[in-house]
Structure formats: structure tokens, C-alpha cells
């Protein structure tokens, strides 16, 4: 079946800049996709790449869209280069959306709500935020590290641990900022603290990164989670083949074939944390759909990011300690598409 294809580029300022080990991120750039078949069926998708994470750029995705010249079939999506994973994933989601019917919606397996981790700002601002989020009911918190001096951050970690509610746990995300020695110091420090896991301690493209990550996972009791290491084509399958003992952080918006990745992870009984790529509500609907369809262990998701945008029309579901399936169903891609005109 052929589809008419339209797209709209977006550039949306965040309400507050996001600080990571890669610097300050002030606005989200991406592309909305709209497909229409000859029978009045419409489907939407979002392309929300993060180039510093290892994806294509928005300009690369737009270049490929221009070559498609406004129409599309499944085979053309399949033939797109693997480098354009976000575009492939967005087009695939749009086609699935156009083919979705009331029956397929009603037949969805899964639960009615999923738990969320509370996202803390980097640095000392996390201390006030952890108290607010604990009051709101969160028990799992994620803190960005590798942003300030490592020794200062380890001292702050102890203040954060002291501020945790009963049963509270922290996830640390270094976004690949550390070298081997810094990662070892951190993992020693975390060993007897309530740290659920340390996410991406070293960069995926540093020399010997796979062996270093496997070594760290074997040497310390705190589990390690892979995130940036899972973005390129075939990464998930490769780590499954290596028998990765830690957690897989899965940003389905950055994957060319999220269904296939989730199926492989499910078969391996992997520990998976579904995570936001700071996409808008349109992409979040698809990403949360994958999380709701997951049949394995349900770890708190890294999707508690909204409200995120200055223009709140582009936000996903509000940030409570859980997200309900009905909130995801309520996200209306057509409204978001029209909001860009
Ligand atoms: Mg991460």
C-alpha cells in the first residue's frame, strides 16, 4: 500500500534547559510525520534524534524525506539506511498508526498503569527536588552526574541519600562522562548506598568500552545500565549476545525497529527500563505504547519528564509516580500536528 507523506519540522524551547554531561540543552528539534492512504486512514509519527547520543541529525532525516518526495510504501522504509534509525522508526510508527483499528486497540495486552522514576536536576538543585518528588509519591529517583566535579558530586550523593524517603532508591546517569578510574571510584562509593544502578558510566565509543563496561559490571555490586551503548543498529542484539548482566535502558524513539528490539529483550528475560528521548507527546504516545506492551519485569520508567516544553501542548502525560494507559490513549497526534501549523 502507498501512502501520501507530509512532514513538519519543529523547534520547541524547553521550559528549563536540560543539563547533561554533554552541556546545556535548551530546545528540542525534530520532525512530525503524517501519512494518509487512499481510504481516509491517517497515521502520525515523530522523528526526534539526539545526535550527541549517536543518532542521525534532523537535517539528515529531512534530506531523506525530501528524496521520498511525498509518498511512501513499506519497502522504501525498509531500504532506508540503518544510519537513519529515528526516521525509520518514526515512519514505521506512522504506518502502524494508519493501520490501527478499533479492534487492534481493544486487543492490546498489558496493564493499566506503569511506575515512573522522578527525574532530578543535575547538581545541588537535586536536593530540593528529591523532597518535592518524595512528597508527590516517587520512590525511585534519577540524578544526572558527570556534570560537575566528581568528588563534589559524590559528597552531594551522600546528602541526597540522606534526603531519600523510606525505601527510596537512586539511579545515577553519567551519560558516558567518566574514564575508567572515575567510574571505579564512583562504583566503590555506590556499593553500600541505595543506588539501584549507574547508567552509562563510560562512553560507548571510547576505546575498549565494551570490555570496560563488562569488567565494571563484574567487579562491583551496583548494577550498570546501558543507554548510549544501545542506540546504533544491532547494539541490543550484540549486548544480548555478550550476556550483559546489567540493565538495558531503551529509548524506543531512537530505534529503527523498537518491536524487534523489545521482542529480543523479552526472549532473553532482560531487565529493561523504558526511557524518554525528550520527545514530544506525539512520539511519547508510541514510546509509552511499547512500554505498556512489555511483558517482562516492570522497572520504574525513565519517562517522568513532563511538563517539559514552554508550549505545554507538546508535553506527554504529566509527571506523577505512575502513568495510566488512559492518559496515553488521550494523547492526540492530530492536535499536535495542527499545533505546528
Ligand atoms: Mg541515560
Q: Residue 37 sits in a domain of what CATH number?
A: 3.30.390.10
What cell numbers appear for 290 in the block? 511499547
Q: Identify whether residues 228 and 302 lie together within a single domain.
A: yes
- Domain of 129? 113-334
In the numeric block, the cell 504529566 is attached to 318
**Residue 147 contacts residue 115 (beta carbons within 8 Å):** no
Q: Is residue 340 situated within a structural domain?
A: no
Q: Identify whether residues 311 and 163 lie together within a single domain.
A: yes
Q: Identify whether residues 71 and 126 lie together within a single domain.
A: no
Last residue of a domain, one of 73, 105, 137: 105
| 26 strand-pairing partners | none
pLDDT digits (tens, 9 = 90+) for 223-277: 999 999 998 889 999 999 999 999 999 999 999 999 999 999 999 999 999 999 9
Q: Identify whether residues 283 and 255 lie together within a single domain.
A: yes
**For position 102, what pLDDT does the model report?**
64
Coil/strand/helix, residue 3: strand
Question: What is the CB neighbour count within 10 angstroms for residue 55?
Answer: 26
Last residue of a domain, one of 105, 139, 169: 105
Domain count, the chain: 2
Is 144 tagged catalytic?
Answer: yes
**Residue 157 contacts residue 125 (beta carbons within 8 Å):** no
Rounded to whole angstroms, how far apart are CA atoms 289 and 251?
Answer: 12
- Å from CA of 227 to ligand 1 middle: 5
**For position 205, what pLDDT does the model report?**
85
**For position 106, what pLDDT does the model report?**
63
Q: Is residue 339 situated within a structural domain?
A: no
Coil/strand/helix, residue 222: coil
Q: Identify whether residues 159 and 89 lie together within a single domain.
A: no
Is 133 tagged catalytic?
Answer: no
Rounded to whole angstroms, how far apart are CA atoms 1 and 296?
Answer: 34
Rounded to whole angstroms, how far apart are CA atoms 18 and 279?
Answer: 13
The secondary structure element, H or E, covering residue 84 is none
Closest residue by Cα to residue 114 from 286, 332, 333, 304 = 304
Q: Identify whether residues 175 and 303 lie together within a single domain.
A: yes
Q: Is residue 220 situated within a structural domain?
A: yes
Taking phi over 0 as left and psi of -120 to 50 as alpha, with beta for the rest, 229 belongs to alpha
**For position 276, what pLDDT does the model report?**
95
Give the pairing of strands 224-226 and 195-199. Answer: parallel
**Residue 322 contacts residue 114 (beta carbons within 8 Å):** yes
Question: Of 88, 133, 142, 144, which one is the catalytic site residue?
Answer: 144
Burial class (CB within 10 angstroms; exposed 0-12, middle 13-18, buried 19+) of 114: buried
**For position 103, what pLDDT does the model report?**
64
Q: Identify whether residues 80 and 159 lie together within a single domain.
A: no
DSSP string spanning 145-204? -SSS-HHHHHHHHHHHHHHPPTT-EEEEE-TTB--HHHHHHHHHHHTTS-EEEEE--B-T
- Å from CA of 299 to ligand 1 middle: 15
- Å from CA of 176 to ligand 1 middle: 9
- Å from CA of 199 to ligand 1 middle: 6
DSSP string spanning 264-289? HHHHTT-EEEEB--S--HHHHHHHHH
Q: Identify whether residues 235 and 153 lie together within a single domain.
A: yes
**For position 19, what pLDDT does the model report?**
79
- Å from CA of 66 to ligand 1 middle: 32
**For position 104, what pLDDT does the model report?**
66
Question: Of 88, 133, 142, 251, which one is the catalytic site residue?
Answer: 251
**For position 3, what pLDDT does the model report?**
96
- Å from CA of 134 to ligand 1 middle: 21
**For position 111, what pLDDT does the model report?**
86
DSSP symbol at 117: P
Last residue of a domain, one of 42, 73, 105: 105
Q: Identify whether residues 185 and 240 lie together within a single domain.
A: yes
**Residue 170 contacts residue 195 (beta carbons within 8 Å):** yes
Positions in the chain short of pLDDT 70: 102-109
**For position 1, what pLDDT does the model report?**
83
- Å from CA of 162 to ligand 1 middle: 24
Q: Is residue 125 situated within a structural domain?
A: yes
Q: Identify whether residues 93 and 190 lie together within a single domain.
A: no
Q: Is residue 188 situated within a structural domain?
A: yes
pTM of the model: 0.94
- Å from CA of 140 to ligand 1 middle: 15
What cell numbers appear for 315 in the block? 508535553
- Å from CA of 144 to ligand 1 middle: 8
Rounded to whole angstroms, how far apart are CA atoms 254 and 287?
Answer: 10
DSSP symbol at 302: B
Give the residue ranges of DSSP H helices in the chain: 58-68, 74-79, 85-99, 102-106, 125-135, 150-163, 180-190, 209-219, 235-241, 258-267, 281-293, 325-330, 333-339
Q: Identify whether residues 49 and 161 lie together within a single domain.
A: no
Q: Identify whether residues 38 and 167 lie together within a single domain.
A: no
**For position 146, what pLDDT does the model report?**
92
Amino acid at each position: 500500500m502507498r501512502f501520501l507523506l507530509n512532514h513538519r519540522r519543529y523547534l520547541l524551547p524547553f521550559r528549563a534547559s536540560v543539563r547533561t554531561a554533554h552541556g546545556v540543552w535548551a530546545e528540542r528539534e525534530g520532525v512530525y510525520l503524517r501519512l494518509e492512504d487512499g481510504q481516509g486512514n491517517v497515521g502520525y509519527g515523530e522523528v526526534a534524534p539526539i545526535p550527541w547520543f549517536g543518532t542521525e541529525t534532523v537535517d539528515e532525516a529531512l534530506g531523506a524525506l525530501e528524496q521520498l518526495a511525498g509518498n511512501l510504501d513499506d519497502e522504501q522504509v525498509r531500504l532506508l539506511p540503518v544510519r537513519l534509525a529515528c526516521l525509520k522508526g518514526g515512519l514505521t510508527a506512522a504506518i502502524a498508526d494508519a493501520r490501527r483499528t478499533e479492534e487492534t486497540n481493544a486487543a492490546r495486552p498489558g496493564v493499566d498503569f506503569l511506575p515512573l522514576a522522578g527525574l532530578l536536576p543535575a547538581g545541588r538543585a537535586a536536593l530540593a527536588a528529591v523532597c518535592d518528588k518524595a512528597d508527590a509519591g516517587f520512590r525511585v529517583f534519577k540524578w544526572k552526574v558527570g556534570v560537575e566535579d566528581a568528588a563534589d558530586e559524590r559528597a552531594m550523593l551522600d546528602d541526597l541519600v540522606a534526603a531519600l524517603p523510606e525505601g527510596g532508591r537512586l539511579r545515577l546517569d553519567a551519560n558516558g562522562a567518566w574514564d575508567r578510574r572515575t567510574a571505579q571510584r564512583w562504583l566503590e562509593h555506590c556499593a553500600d548506598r541505595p543506588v539501584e544502578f549507574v547508567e552509562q558510566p563510560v562512553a560507548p565509543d571510547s576505546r575498549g568500552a565494551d570490555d570496560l563496561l563488562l569488567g565494571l559490571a563484574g567487579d562491583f555490586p551496583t548494577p550498570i545500565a546501558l543507554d548510549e551503548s544501545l542506540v546504533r543498529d544491532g547494539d541490543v542484539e550484540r549486548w544480548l549476545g555478550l550476556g550483559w548482566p546489567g540493565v538495558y535502558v531503551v529509548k524506543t524513539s531512537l530505534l529503527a525497529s523498537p518491536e524487534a528490539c523489545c521482542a529480543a529483550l523479552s526472549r532473553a528475560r532482560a531487565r529493561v527500563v523504558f526511557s524518554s528521548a525528550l520527545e514530544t507527546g506525539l512520539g511519547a504516545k508510541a514510546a509509552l505504547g511499547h512500554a505498556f506492551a512489555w511483558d517482562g519485569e516492570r522497572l520504574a520508567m525513565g519517562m517522568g519528564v513532563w511538563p517539559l516544553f514552554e508550549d505545554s501542548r507538546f508535553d506527554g502525560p504529566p509527571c506523577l509516580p505512575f502513568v495510566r494507559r488512559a492518559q496515553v490513549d488521550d494523547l492526540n497526534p492530530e492536535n499536535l500536528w495542527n499545533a505546528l501549523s
